[in-house]
Amino acid sequence: MTHRELAELAYSMLDRSYSPYSKFPVGAALLCADGRVFTGCNVENAAYGSTICAERTALVKAVSEGVREFVTLAVVGRGEDFCWPCGACRQMLREFAPNLEVVVGNGKKELTVIPLPELLPHSFGPESLT
């Protein structure tokens, strides 16, 4: 699957976003090592801390289906800037895919690609607990 194809799946999730507070819909698509793709959107809550990001929605859907190996994540928004994953999402992704390729897109459907280790340098992972 190309970066563009994965990003288009993420863009298709923007209309499913529940973002009445931020008015900032985000879509994600997570490509698994076995070729499956899990999508997600952000789901906000009046108790802001209960909000879940699109990236974590896709990740939790995949993990709940037994998938543990991931190759590429696309995360997109409608803003002018690229839609970078937040710190909490970076850490959750790092748990399962420390070398994940991350594709980020903006409202003009421009894309850029960056490896997760560049987004979360000197990260803490399962091996840090030994």
State how far Cα 116 lies from the chain centre.
Answer: 11
pLDDT in tens, 65-108: 999 999 999 999 999 999 999 999 999 999 999 999 999 999 99
Nearest by Cα to 98 from 129, 122, 75, 76: 122
Predicted pLDDT at 54: 98
Predicted pLDDT at 99: 97
For the question of residue 55 being annotated catalytic, the response is: yes
Q: What is the pTM of this model?
A: 0.96
Predicted pLDDT at 13: 98
Place of tokens 């970066």: 3
Is residue 21 helix, strand or coil? coil
pLDDT in tens, 23-41: 999 999 999 999 999 999 9
What's the chain's average pLDDT? 97
Q: Find the catalytic residue in 55, 80, 95, 101.
A: 55
